[in-house]
Amino acid sequence: MSGRREELASRLEDVHARMGRAAESAGRDVGDLELVVVTKYFPASDVDLLVDLGVAHIGENKDQEAGAKVAELSRRDDVTVHFIGQLQSNKAGHVTAYADVVQSVDRPKIVTALDRGAQRHGRRLDVLLQVALDDEGGRGGTSPEDVPALADLVAGAEALRLRGVMAVAPLGGDPRRAFARLREVADGIRAGHPEATWISAGMSGDLEDAVAEGATHLRVGTAILGSRPSLG
Ligand SMILES: *Cc1c(COP(=O)(O)O)cnc(C)c1O
């Protein structure tokens, strides 16, 4: 078990070093970047080790797995839980039982379900709109044209707080170009919603491109936890 701790510590250090270099070449302050460690498919014991190593944000993308895992954490209050997976409207309310942030909001029905769920749990939820950066929308998200209306809807929801946008770079495309587009979308909604300052972009393979295009939140899994085990 102590071997796992060293392994996570050393990979975490590598990722922080990459973030530092990326920030420097972009002329940005590394302190303005939040690292969200994506722990999907890995056990609560790994999350506990990460929290001990100073990780303050984790990301999960499967509702059932995430709910059970968060309940097991020994230091739940020391970590912010981000839900980053696709949501079904009939189950979206459930994530409000344990998530602090939902990054993958991409349609009106989800907004309504989250608002109801958050009210039921007496919580206020931070929300990012997931933007589709490819034409097919194969990796989830709403099209950039639909973002302004969805932003207004979230901003008007009682228990939700609009914080910004999230995207996954299209497979096989140029991530830098995609993240530049995301930055434009983010600028567009900030005109009407000044509190929407977060840009969640960049994963293990493309975090440098995301930092170069203004990302504030990086979602990194494999580079820290290793290859994901299959759930069989
Ligand atoms: C799994 C996942 C990540 C992390 O990807 P890695 O390549 O393992 O760093 C980031 N964002 C989302 C939405 C994911 O589902």
Give pTM, 2 decimals: 0.96
Give per-residue pLDDT as tens, 63-107.
999 999 999 999 999 999 999 999 988 889 999 999 999 999 999
Output the residue whose Cα is nearest ligand 1's atom 13: 84
C-alpha 14 – ligand 1 centre gap (Å): 17
Output the residue whose Cα is nearest ligand 1's atom 10: 219
Residues 106, 58, 66: CA angle, nearest 5 degrees: 70
Give per-residue pLDDT as tens, 114-141.
999 999 999 999 999 999 988 665 668 9
Task: For CA atoms 202, 206, 208, 210, give the dihedral sign.
Answer: negative
Residue among 41, 61, 131 whose CB has most ligand 1 atoms within 8 A, to mutate: 61
Residue among 83, 84, 203 whose CB has most ligand 1 atoms within 8 A, to mutate: 203
Cβ neighbours around 149 below 10 Å, total = 10
Ligand 1 surroundings by CB, under 6 angstroms? 38, 40, 61, 84, 168, 203-205, 219-223
Domain boundary assignment for the chain: 2-224
Of 109, 52, 102, the closest CA to residue 81 belongs to 102
Fold of 2-224: TIM Barrel (3.20.20)
Atom of ligand 1 nearest to the CA of 104: 13
> What is the four-CA torsion angle of 128, 129, 134, 136, rounded to 10 degrees?
130
